[in-house]
Amino acid sequence: MQTSINKEYVIHKWINPNTIEKRRYQDDIASRAVLRNTLVVIPTGLGKTSIAAVVCANRLQKDMTKKIMFLAPTKPLVDQHRNTFEKIMKIGSSELKTVTGTDPPSTRALLYNKADVVFSTPQTVANDLKNGMLNFKEFSLLIVDEAHRSVGNYAYVFVADQYMKMAKDPLILALTASPGSNKQKIDEIKKKLFIEHVEIKDRDDEDVRPYVQKQSQAFIHVELIQELRNISSELSRYRNSIIEMLMSWKIIHFSKISKVDLLKLQAQLARSKSGSSLAAMSYIAEILKIDHALILAETQTVYALRNYLTSLQEEKSKAAQRLIKSSAFEKAIEITHRLDEYNIEHPKVMKLKDIIRNEMYRERKVIIFAQYRDTINKLVKELREVEKAKPVGFFGQAKKAGKGLSQKEQIEILNEFKLGFYNILVCTSIGEEGLDIAETDTVIFYEPIPSEIRKIQRAGRTARTKAGKVLVMMTKGTRDEAFYWSGYHKENKMKSILQRMKSEQSDNNG
């Protein structure tokens, strides 16, 4: 590898001085990644982009007539990588091109032709490959960010296949903080991206430890108020009656059935198209609606629950009409309206305000993750009442009742968060993956999540350059606890799989 280190910075003819700090683990990974297709699994904040830049520099040094393709799943993340490379690489900004679906085809063709490094989303590149607008024969490196998405029919899979077929001297560098807890999924990622070697690092590795900041974790438990317990009890009793009926029809075989299994069952019934199947599908749809109401009642806000129950009254489906005519629904909406009338909220809301008062007293920056936009809107409104708190909602572009944020608005909010106009970012899952969000002191999970990948990404938003903490809010005796333990076991399983892979590779290398 033709990279030398001096005064704690990487020195390379394609890398600007004093832009990449010398870190032995990064240099070791990059030195091996230039030799074969590599999947790099490394915690958030430990320099995946720096590794990509060094590998990119070496490919350009090997053949400066060839191009580089850097893919990321969203346009804001694509823009972020392009801006980082502009600072790091000795490549003119005019040769670093962002290509998106919003560019007309003639412009995209021109950008591909002129660029030394192309930054794009996999969907755009896949479409242009299919249309014959792009040929990979002039590309010497494909960088795949958030590589855990490379399963099933996701566009990364098609792009990687075409790249390996077209490129004369192909090399793939795949990057992720969390590939998942399923060995089959990890093997699928490796197969779909033609991975020959896996580099795995964690926070406890000796060469990583000097660069890892302390990250504490704590749980904040709350007791569900009696009124919300009554709603949960009424809806659960009605739900169980539907389950028992479907069991008597031999449609469902177990009283405990997950949302995933219900959706699979619905898809199976849809294929049969018989009268009894259609009836069963309608009852399953009713169960799913009840489950959503239960999640809102037990783990979210009265505001979100009231909005959802009100929206059900406007639905015309048989499932919704049956549900709103039930005594369980009538009691649920009666209690919800009463709570709303007296400004009584879910106990998590009051507890969160107490936490934020403490954080603001210490002048901390905070990210709060929550699942639902109605919850986010309510939390922003409530937190504005806390002294020194300057909260802002941050969510995706999907226009839902006019609540979507454009990419321009997203970038503006992130910049204003960095500059201190806001000190609390209340966001959906869009804040989990990749985006360049300012260093935060505290990350709060408004609810636990069952996904180990998303849990790791959320927690990775703090303790990057200084110590940080993660707080997980849980309502006792509710789905919160089930989701927490699901995520906990999946994360431990993923760590075990990765540790085993590391050991096997060490044995093979030895």
- Ordered DSSP codes for 152-208: TT-HHHHHHHHHHHH-SS--EEEEES---S-HHHHHHHHHHTT--EEEE--TTSTTT
510 compared with 136, residue with greater pLDDT: 136
Please, how many CA atoms are within 13 Å of residue 299, restricted to the half-sphere of its CB? 24
Interval 86-103: pLDDT, tens: 999 999 999 999 998 889
**CA dist., res. 415 & res. 412, Å (int):** 5
Residues 6+ apart with CB under 8 A from 268: none
**CA dist., res. 57 & res. 447, Å (int):** 42
- Of 214, 83, 56, nearest to 143 by C-alpha is 56
Is residue 43 helix, strand or coil? coil
Task: Check pLDDT > 80 for residue 399.
Answer: no
273 compared with 40, residue with greater pLDDT: 40
**CA dist., res. 420 & res. 435, Å (int):** 18
Q: For the chain, how long is the longest CA-to-CA vector?
A: 75
Interval 381-391: pLDDT, tens: 999 999 999 99
Q: Other CB atoms closer than 10 Å to residue 219's CB: what's the count?
A: 12
Where do we find the tokens 């964690």?
Answer: 202
Which one of 3.30.70.2740, 3.40.50.300, 3.30.420.480, 3.50.50.60 gives the CATH number of domain 215-222+347-489?
A: 3.40.50.300
pLDDT at residue 69 in the model: 98
Categorize the per-residue pLDDT at 233 as very low, low, confident or very high, splitting at 50, 70 and 90.
Answer: very high
User: CA–CA distance from 115 to each of 24, 53, 64, 75, 110 (Å)?
Assistant: 31, 16, 12, 18, 9
Task: Check pLDDT > 70 for residue 269.
Answer: yes
Where do we find the tokens 């106990």?
Answer: 347
Task: Check pLDDT > 70 for residue 507.
Answer: no
**Alpha helix (H) residue ranges in 368-406:** 373-383
Class of domain 4-211: alpha beta
Q: What is the mean pLDDT of residues 141-168?
A: 96
pLDDT at residue 429 in the model: 79
Tokens of 44: 């958030």
Task: Check pLDDT > 70 for residue 402.
Answer: no
pLDDT at residue 432 in the model: 66
State the average pLDDT for the chain: 90
Q: What is the mean pLDDT of residues 250-257?
A: 88
Q: Where in the chain is the domain with CATH 3.40.50.300?
A: 4-211, 215-222+347-489
Q: Where in the chain is the domain with CATH 1.20.1320.20?
A: 226-341
pLDDT at residue 319 in the model: 95
**CA dist., res. 438 & res. 365, Å (int):** 9
Q: What is the mean pLDDT of residues 27-39?
A: 95
Interval 470-480: pLDDT, tens: 999 999 999 99
Q: How far is CA 9 from the centre of its chain?
A: 31
- Torsion region of 27: left, alpha or beta (phi above 0 gives left; psi -120 to 50 gives alpha): alpha
Q: Are 405 and 431 in contact (CB under 8 A)?
A: no
Q: What is the mean pLDDT of residues 168-184?
A: 91
414 compared with 144, residue with greater pLDDT: 144
Residues 6+ apart with CB under 8 A from 491: 181, 452, 455, 456
Q: Are 69 and 142 in contact (CB under 8 A)?
A: yes
Q: What is the mean pLDDT of residues 447-461?
A: 83
Categorize the per-residue pLDDT at 239 as very low, low, confident or very high, splitting at 50, 70 and 90.
Answer: very high
Categorize the per-residue pLDDT at 498 as very low, low, confident or very high, splitting at 50, 70 and 90.
Answer: confident
Domain formed by 226-341, architecture: Up-down Bundle (1.20)
